[in-house]
Structure 1
């Protein structure tokens, strides 16, 4: 009988757009480490308090913001990788801070919490990455990975490897099965949709090199935050004036609404310049009550609050036909009712792009849909009904398996770290 492999001082880190995890592979124990109380996920959120130097993370950060503490909330920082903003600064507590330092601060906290839970230091790690940080630009995609590696080294990690997130999810699924399968992994995260067609099975699991098992990988820069944005623009922003007219007959400029509907640009709506432009638009607006709602939202710095309401409505509509949003914070006594059909219409074009990406993946692999044994769904947004229906329609004979929507990637990265660094 072969001896059980000893745990190595290497972890798997899934730095996600919306949620992050860290895992450490040990015989007979779950891989994921508790990061916030007993929770295995840490929402990828930072809140910088204005009154003092205190910084909060994850659910605590969201709670501090929603409780009305003065400060700066930042979320979806991963979405900046591969963009020009990664070379820029932003104002935090009255000083200019590079975005790279903000990512290093969050990943460093994630690493510290993992080490505290494991009772040991980690200097080696496998980091998850999307199949494409940047669509259709290989050099920009490589720069994004290089930037993430540089940031990870600032946190004390010395030996770093990368693994595609859907492949990591496949490794987690592989640890749960007893026979060989051809699996299509569908990973719909906060910022990207990633896919891998891979052969998995108990006899393959111990191999150090898995390149020959991977038939194809692909992805597109569409994820749950894009669904949130589309739903917000379709259902909420018109209440604040999007699509309304100025007295001249021209349509209201859309940039303030797009900033407020996009997680990592919400803070741009709070600048002095943006406020001055908003006052000018209010003077020229034909429908002033809608602009007054928008002014109230910006004055209260409630953009993140509204984005959270939209996100929660999207999640609710994944399991119900109707969701309600209480917008009393910016419009006293008002509630917005949303229907599943509205979500479907809002995200239809995005889901079509995801569907087309999966179709191309099967063509590139030279595999017919009937050859696929299992479609394995992971990622927090893979439960969106329209998306799941469209993907499963491409593989009607395959078995549908739902993994740990927030934990499969982190657990798979921990398994990969065990293999790579043992």
Structure 2
């Protein structure tokens, strides 16, 4: 058994991989689940901290407090060196990330009944697009945070390469594989030559023909789904008496996980009241009242969860009826709901899909590989379930076999394998 683990600290979900012969590749982190949603809830009523599904459940149950999610998105931004208010105290963002990674470590060790001093952490191909210095700083920051959380030795592996190692453990012959890892915060692609007889090698640089990616992922799909279809129910696109549009910044902040709390300040609340007084249309006033009530009730995270829920449901269904029961106005009306379908989802994320498709084509071009030479596309990452996006990627390499890995576990499993090889 390896004395080292692999840590997939994800934007939306996290896993811990541990390689043991004939044993599951992932450790259980919450009840019987191997994934831990990357969520922290600071309960102001009970002065407690909860993580993962428990954190979401406590928040949705209506407990007073602060919900933090998509914390990985802070890496590579100026916000990582800032602070935020949690239960009346100013807390550094670095400390919040360290707290969650420390919880991952503790839960992994409890499941393994042993300590882990060494770890291979997954990282996106690009924390920051087109800025190598900022990208390296983001990795260095994550390494510092991991050390502070208790890991003595930390190494890194590209997340799609880790997924490739997991896939390689299950094939019987050599394949040229395009790893498509669509996660919560990034979309990463690697073109890798895999073969069972090469899986034991520590140095696989010659087998990596190309890699690339963009800083676009599932939280961006959620954001633009919300802005296109949900936020108009709260007044986005409506006009003031002067015929200029209602300011969009409030809606963009509400649709972005790590900026939702910016809408809850007293300054913004006064601005919203001023905007409301300047709306003449009864229809726009009614929709804007929903926004006022949402902000007053601090239900922004609930709304973001509903947008994510819609995206997930549309991965399997042609159309859905999304219940938005917490949206209310002064006028008595039926509970608010929204009909969404595949075309609506595609409409809202079309510009993101195009950027992702270009990234795939760029990887092939840089590697000097023709589309027909690719044997397999291996899909991993929770957001690779978005149907239209998967179809777009598959169309770039139409002759390749399409294989779906463990959407939430392939990276963690591969990191566990990599950790066993590196720290053996």
Report the TM-score, using the length of structure 2 for normalisation.
Answer: 0.97
Q: Are 1:278 and 2:272 counterparts?
A: yes
List per-residue Cα deviations over 1:189-214 (Å, max 9, x = no partner).
00000000001111110001111000
Q: Provide the residue aligned with 1:330 in structure 2.
A: 327
Quote how far apart the aligned CAs of 1:280 are: 1.1
Q: Secondary structure at the match of 1:355?
A: helix
Matches of residues 360-399 of structure 1 in structure 2 within 5 Å? 360-399=362-401
Find the residue that maps to 1:147 and give its secondary structure. Answer: helix
CA RMSD of aligned residues (A): 0.7
1:321 to 284, 304, 318: 318
Report the more deviating stretch, 327-336 or 378-387.
Answer: 327-336
Partners of 2:335 and 2:358 lie apart in 1 by 43
Aligned-partner SS, 1:382: helix
* Structure 2 match to 1:306: 303
User: CA offsets, 1:281-313, max 9 Å, x none?
Assistant: 111123211110000111111111111111111
Query: How far has the Cα of 1:276 moved from its partner?
Result: 1.2
- Superposition deviation, residue 52 in structure 1: 3.3
Give runs of aligned pairs for residues 46-125 of structure 1, distance below 5 A: 46-125=40-119
Correspondence for 1:208: 202
Name the SS of the counterpart of 1:315 in structure 2: helix
1:343 equivalenced with 2:337 (yes/no): no
Q: Does 1:176 align with 2:178?
A: no
In 2, the alpha carbon distance for the partners of 1:328 and 1:38 equals 31
Of stretches 358-367 and 278-287 in structure 1, the one that deviates more from structure 2 is 278-287
Instruction: Measure, in 2, the Cα distance between the counterparts of 1:14 and 1:8.
Output: 17
Corresponding residue number in structure 1 for 2:403: 401
TM-score (structure 1 length as normaliser): 0.98
Tell me what 2:331 maps to: none
Which deviates the most, 183-192 or 24-33? 24-33
Counterparts of 1:149-228 in structure 2, within 5 Å, are 149-228=143-222
Tell me, in whole angstroms, the C-alpha distance in 1 between the residues paired with 2:30 and 2:177: 32
Q: Distance in 2 between matches of 1:415 and 1:56?
A: 30
Residue 267 of structure 1 is matched in structure 2 by 261
Shift of 1:343: 0.4
What is aligned with 1:295? Answer: 292
For 2:412 and 2:324, locate their aligned partners in 1 and report how far apart those are by CA, in whole Å. 36
3-state DSSP class of the match of 2:68?
Answer: strand
2:134 to 116, 131, 140: 140
Q: Report the counterpart of residue 415 of structure 1 in structure 2.
A: 417
Offset, 1:357: 0.4
**Which sections of structure 2, spanning at least 5 residues, go unmatched?**
329-333
Structure 2 Cα separation of the partners of residues 144 and 285 of structure 1 = 44
- 4+ long deviations beyond 3 Å: none
What number of residue pairs does the alignment pair up? 416
Q: Distance in 2 between matches of 1:280 and 1:114?
A: 50
Structure 1: which 5+ residue stretches go unaligned?
Answer: 1-6
Q: Distance in 2 between matches of 1:82 and 1:334?
A: 38
SS in 1 for 2:385: coil
Which of the numbers 227, 231, 243 marks the counterpart of 1:233? Answer: 227
Q: Distance in 2 between matches of 1:22 and 1:44?
A: 12
Q: Higher mean Cα deviation, 351-360 or 314-323?
A: 314-323
Shift of 1:223: 0.2
In the alignment, the residues of structure 1 paired with residue 336 and residue 46 of structure 2 have an alpha-carbon distance, to the nearest angstrom, of 35
Q: Once the 2 structures are TM-superposed, how far is the Cα of residue 326 of structure 1 from its aligned partner?
A: 1.4
CA deviation vs aligned residue, 1:341-376 (integer Å, no higher than 9, x gap): 110000001000000000010000000111111000
Matches within 5 A, 1:16-35: 16-35=10-29
Deviates further, 409-418 or 244-253? 244-253
Q: Displacement, 1:113?
A: 0.2
